[in-house]
Structures are given as structure tokens and as C-alpha cells.
Amino acid sequence: MRYVVAVKQVPDSGLVEVNGDGSLRRAGVPAVLNPYCEYALGRILDSRLPGDEVTVVTMGPPQASAVLRRCMELGADSAYLVSDPALAGSDTWATARALTAFVQRHIPDADLLVFGRQTVDGDTGQVPYEVAQLLGVQQFAYVTDLESSGDGFTAVQDYGDMRRRCTVPRGSVVAFSGVDPRGRFASVSGRLAAAGRGIVTVDRVALGLGLYSVGTKGSPTVIEATRRVESTRRNRKVVIRDPATAAGLILGEAGAR
């Protein structure tokens, strides 16, 4: 089986910087592998059989190769970086278009396209299903379990109020739902193996994408403005030594809703 896992680099924790056009400033902010992507990659690596091939791909600036390096340390076999100045500022639609072009150009025989549920910086969770539509394949969201069966797979999906099992044909898009709060650790052998492997960089022209199909020019959504969230909380600070008084205040809040 050939797996393609799409991952994203996200700015580390609370270091939010905003560009003039409202996009996030990523240069200079330490980037980490999005935990949802890491979890999805981990699930595939845990279930891989001998002979399976796991390829990771990300779209981002040149420094995004760091997260690909980490993916290979965790156990991925090969890595592609889709990188081009013209891709900057892509919204989910333009991102999906570029990723679709990549898959069709480089790994058209992928048996499964794997995503995390969402990223922690964008929170949209839209790209997997836009890619699925562009490729014309089925999509499986909120997957909690995936196993091989017959020619394809069987997935268990958790919609919150409903859990269901579906047949997953080869070539489908699968998005895992979870995240591992502890993260994964790369083994020493994984690190040594990754050190010898290179990252293939692919640019816009190599994927046959026009200037107006990607990046800010190819994005139908436009961020007009971003602003920091100003607290609208009453923010009443009370120094209380007596726990009973505090408990009374809390129960008062609970009763007054």
C-alpha cells in the first residue's frame, strides 16, 4: 500500500504575528508539526505492514522542510515540499488545488490520502474534503479506526452523536479525528535512517499551476482585517482568603445563569 500523508507546519504556541494583509507571519516564529497531522501520520506508521510506503507532503516556505525532516524521523519513507513564493497566502481552496495537483503529478497511484482533522492555527479542517472533491474520490472524516480489508480498508468514523463503519475504497481521502497530547517520539534508529534521506522540493511551475490558480491571487476568500481579541469579560478580581466565601460566589454564579 502506498500512503500519502499531508502535513502542515504551524507556528509554535502563542507567538502570533500578523502581517499587514492579515495573514500570519510565519518567518522567525519557530514552526512545529501540527499535532493533528502528527497523530494521523502516527496512526499510519503504527499500522503499516512490510512493503508499505509512507510519503509525507507539505506546502509551505522552505523552512517547512524541518517538519518533513521530523516526519521522516518518526518513520516516513519519503518527503515532498511544495514550495513557491506564489503559493504564499493560499486559502483552503487554493491549498487544496495545489495539493491535488501535487498528488496527480507525483503520486497518482496513492492507495490512501491521509490528513489530520484540522490545524491548530487555521482551525478550518476544510482542505481534506476539498482535495477529495477535486480528485473525485470519497472522503472519510473523523476516522478513529482504520484497518485493511479486502482490496481496500474499513474505517470507523465518529460524528459525535453517531459512530459508523464504512468501506473505504483505494484512493480515498481519510482524515483522522484525534490528537495525542503527549506527542510522538522519534527513535534513535528513525533519526539515523532519516539523516540519509533527502526532501524533494516541487515548485508551482513543476505542478503546472498558473499564477492565478494559487496563493492570494487564486484564493476566493480574502482576509480583510484581523484583530486581537479584546477581553469583554467583566474581569472582577477578588482576593479571598476564606474558601467558603469563594465557594458561595461560585455557586451564586452557577445559580444565576
Partner 1 sequence: MSGCSGGSCSSCSSGDQDNPDRLPPGMLARYDINQSTADGVLVWVEVERDGDSVRMPDVCAEVLSAARSMCDGRVFAVVFGGPEVKALYPEMFSYGTDTVYHVRDARLGTYQPEAYADCMAGIVERVVPAVVLMGATTRGREVAPRLAAILQTGLTADCTSLSMDGRDLLMTRPAFGGNLMADIRCTRFPQMATVRPGAFDKVPTDRTTGTALYWQYQGEVPKEVLSEEPVTEGGSDIRDARILISLGNGIRDRSTVELAESVATRMGAMVSCSRSIVEKGWMPVSRQVGMSGRIVRPDLYIAMGISGSVQHRAGMSGARRIVAVNTDPDAPIHGFADLSLITDAAAVLAAMSRMLDGKEENE
Contact 80, 59 (CB under 8 A): no
Q: Does 151 bind partner 1 (CB under 8 A)?
A: no
- Give the residue from 144, 197, 170, 135 showing the smallest Cα distance to 1: 170
Give the three-state DSSP class for 11. strand
**Is residue 132 involved in binding partner 1 (CB under 8 A)?**
yes
Nearer residue to partner 1 within complex by CB, 81 or 176: 176
**Contact flag: residue 244 with partner 1 (CB under 8 A):** yes
Choice between 196 and 242, CB closer to partner 1: 242
In the complex, the smallest distance separating the C-beta of residue 201 from partner 1, rounded to whole angstroms, is 26
What part of residues 15-74 is at the interface with partner 1 (CB under 8 A)? 16, 18, 22, 24, 35
CB of 193 to partner 1, least distance (A): 27
Q: Considering beta carbons, is residue 87 or 194 the nearer one to partner 1?
A: 87
CB under 8 Å to 86, separation ≥6 — which residues?
204, 211, 214, 215, 217
Instruction: Choose between 154 and 201: whose C-beta lies nearer to partner 1.
Output: 154
Q: Which of 20, 49, 196, 236 binds partner 1 (CB under 8 A)?
A: 236
CB of 197 to partner 1, least distance (A): 28
Cα–Cα distance, 122 to 238 (Å, whole number): 36
- Least Cα distance to 80 among 94, 96, 69, 93 occurs for 69
Establish if 104 lies at the interface with partner 1 (CB under 8 A).
Answer: no
Q: Which amino acid is at 68?
A: L
Q: Quickly list DSSP for 37-63.
A: HHHHHHHHHHH--TT-EEEEEEES-GG
Query: Which residue's CB is nearer to partner 1, number 81 or number 113?
Result: 113
The CB-based long-range contact list for 145-148 (8 Å cut-off, 24+ gap) reads: 146/43, 146/47, 146/174, 146/176, 147/47, 148/1, 148/49
CB of 61 to partner 1, least distance (A): 18
Map the footprint of partner 1 across residues 190-219, applying CB under 8 A.
219
How far, rounded to the nearest angstrom, does the alpha carbon of residue 32 sit from its chain's CA centroid? 11
CB 16 within 8 A of CB 68: no
Indicate which single residue of 52, 121, 145, 203 sits in contact with partner 1 (rule: CB under 8 A).
121
Nearest distance in Å: CB 252, partner 1 = 7
The closest alpha carbon to 71, from 148, 8, 143, belongs to 8
* Least distance in angstroms from the C-beta of 32 to partner 1: 12
- Residue 142 lies near partner 1 (rule: CB under 8 A): yes
